[in-house]
A and B are shown apart, each in its own frame.
Chain A
Amino acid sequence: MDDKKAAILSEIPRLRRYARSLLRDRDSADDLVQDCLERALVRLDNWQTGESPRRWLFTIMHHLFIDQMRKVNRRGEAAMLPLEAGEAQAAPADQVETIASREIMDALQAISPDRRAALVMVAIEGFSYAEAANILGVPAGTLMSRIARGREELRGLLDDTSRRRTIRIVEK
């Protein structure tokens, strides 16, 4: 196996984590990773020596994700509606999650895809602002505002969820 393929293979766990944060559902996330890998292999020659495989692969995957989100948006515009946290998508049955994990993943799905990607890229994947801005193809200022708004939005959604939970407990 050549070095390039070995390098790509070793990035799969991270790509899966990023995809999972974007899409939540395990199979859908892996489908996105598969699309990304297929595209990467076709374009192996575009990968310049010295360029970090991680950055290259994340860029490919991000483009796939955002392109499709835009198509979904254009067709339905439904994604523009604020989704209620917890209603966005049911947790996969084969995944044991704590309540806290489920709530934060639900909330993450409910914020806009652009903000979600920016926040996860920096807060989970550990990219610098410069790297993340480069991968997402936006100016640093835009990236920063997406991160700040993303965190605000997430906090608000989590607060709503915990308020609702409190109400439910009280009602019992």
Chain B
Amino acid sequence: MTRRDFSERDIHMALDGELPGEERMAYDAWLEANPEMKAKSVRYIADRAAMRAALAGVMDEPVPARLRQVVLGEAPAKASVWRSRWWLSAAAAVMLAVGGLGGYVAGVDSIARGESDDQLAEQAIAAHVTYAAEKRHAVEVPASDKDHLQTWLSNRVGLKLVAPDLAAEGFELVGGRLLPAGGQGKAAMLLYEDAKGERISLYVTAESSETSKGTYAAEAGGPEAVYWLDKGYACAVVGSLPPERLSDVAKSAYGQLLAGISS
């Protein structure tokens, strides 16, 4: 029988079926002689069992139709809407976790890195992707209650918010909701819809300490954000419109927001 020194590495190999068969007996004997190593092995086996149990149900779930359709070539025209949304939620999870670690991480650090414009745009896009797709639960307060919506969001966000009138651009207000904006901050989201059901959202927050403007898309083909940052307020207009149209809507919205804030 081969005689060699075993180590922690062998615990993993044994667990993963990578330990040569002829070494198994010697390994087992080594494990018995080393209670600490044995405890580790037992623990890893238990953790693996828990992981497998937690994921076992997935195999029994019916395959979602949209996945079958992709393979069978029956992909609906909506397919491109889905594309690449998954990682946005991963990014959103990261942002949430950062928020959980304390506002100063998102606030101070990002300013130090000069990345708060990206961050604003990403938060605005993540919010748009999440809520604009909702048919019945897109907003907390509907446009029919516009006065209350404006008062409520203004109080929460700390800016005097007047929902821009975008009728000239073909958009009607659907309503709005309150969102977290990194750390302790809050943001207002105003959702608009045109006659074809195309939606855009305005994301406004007082959490801003640098001056910047630009456009940002998290992913080619995904919604784009046109944003402005100034000291004390920031705004992003997000939508999947042709660039020129989005830019026109955004300018109009920004102009009116600014007039409202400074009124």
Chain A interface residues (CB < 8 Å from chain B): 1, 5, 8-9, 12-14, 16-17, 20-21, 23-25, 27-35, 37-38, 41, 68-69, 71-72, 75-79, 81, 83-84, 87-89, 97, 100-102, 104-105, 108-109, 120, 122-124, 128-129, 144, 147-148, 151, 154-155, 158
- Measured in the bound complex, the distance between the Cα atoms of B101 and A87 in whole Å is 9
- 7 A-B pairs closest in CB distance: A31-B86, A101-B54, A68-B87, A28-B89, A28-B86, A17-B58, A89-B93
Give the residues in chain B near A38, CB-CB below 8 Å. Answer: 70, 75, 79, 83
In-complex Cβ contact of A23 among B44, B59, B90, B113 (8 A): B90
Q: For residue B1, which residues in chain A have a CB less than 8 angstroms away from its CB?
A: none
Q: How far is the CB of A9 from chain B (nearest CB, A)?
A: 5
Chain A residue at smallest Cβ distance from B105: A81
Least CB distance from B103 to A in Å reads: 13
The answer to whether B12 and A81 have CB atoms under 8 Å apart is no
Contacts of B96 in A (CB 8 A): 87, 89
7 A-B residue pairs with CB within 8 Å: A5-B72, A35-B83, A35-B86, A38-B70, A81-B101, A105-B54, A123-B16
**1/0 per residue B49-77: CB within 8 Å of A?**
01111110011010110111011110100
Is B16 a contact partner of A14 (Cβ separation < 8 A)? Answer: no
B18 at the A/B interface (Cβ < 8 Å)? yes
Collect the chain A residues with CB atoms within 8 Å of residue B52's CB: 123-124
Distance of A160 from chain B, by nearest CB (Å): 14
Nearest B-chain residue to A65, judged by Cβ: B87
Q: How far is the CA of A89 from the CA of B179 in the complex (A)?
A: 17
A17 to B59, CA, bound (A): 7
User: Assuming the A-B contacts A87-B100, A148-B8, are A13 and B59 also in contact, with contact meaning beta carbons closer than 8 angstroms in the complex?
Assistant: yes
Contact A33 B17 (CB under 8 A): no
| Contact between chains at A12 and B16 (CB < 8 Å) | no
Evaluate contact between B100 and A84: CB separation under 8 angstroms.
yes
Structural contact, A12 and B12, CB atoms closer than 8 A:
no
A128 CA to B13 CA, complexed, in Å: 10
B residues neighboring A (CB under 8 Å):
8-9, 12-13, 15-18, 43-44, 47-48, 50-55, 58-59, 61, 63-64, 66-68, 70-73, 75, 79, 82-87, 89-91, 93-98, 100-101, 105-106, 113, 115, 118-119, 122
- Bound together, the chains give a CA A24 to CA B122 distance in angstroms of 21
- Cross-chain contact of B68 among A12, A102, A158 (Cβ < 8 A): A12
Q: B-side binding surface: helix, strand, loop or mixed?
A: helix
Contact call A13/B71, Cβ cutoff below 8 A: no
- Contact in complex: B55, A17 (CB < 8 Å): yes
Nearest Cβ on chain A to B93's Cβ, whole angstroms: 4
> Nearest Cβ in chain B — how far from A19, in angstroms?
8
Q: Which residues of A contact B82 (CB under 8 A)?
A: 31, 34
Give bound CA distance, A87 to B8, whole Å: 31
Would you call B55 and A23 a contact (CB within 8 A)?
A: no
Contacts of B9 in A (CB 8 A): 144, 148
Please state if A104 and B89 are interface contacts (CB–CB under 8 Å). no
- Closest Cβ neighbor of B87 among chain A residues: A68
Contact between chains at B86 and A76 (CB < 8 Å)? no
Q: How far is the CA of A22 from the CA of B262 in the complex (A)?
A: 46
Question: B residues within 8 A CB of A5?
Answer: 71-72
| Cβ B90 vs Cβ A101 within 8 A | no
Which of the listed residues B18, B87, B106 has the most CB atoms from chain A within 10 Å of its own CB? Answer: B87
- Most A CB contacts (10 A, CB to CB) among B9, B48, B71 go to B71
- The answer to whether residues A20 and B100 also contact, given A28-B85, A38-B79, A100-B50 and a CB cut-off of 8 A, is no
In the complex, A37 Cα to B98 Cα: how many Å?
32
**CA distance in complex: A144, B18 (Å):** 11
Q: Are B64 and A30 in contact (CB under 8 A)?
A: yes
Q: A78-B95, A89-B96 are in contact. Are A155 and B16 (CB under 8 A)?
A: no
**Residues of A contacting B64 in the complex (Cβ-Cβ under 8 angstroms):** 30
User: For the complex, what is the distance from the CA of A157 to the CA of B67, rounded to whole Å?
Assistant: 34
| C-alpha spacing A23/B95, complex, angstroms | 15
A144 to B50, CA, bound (A): 21
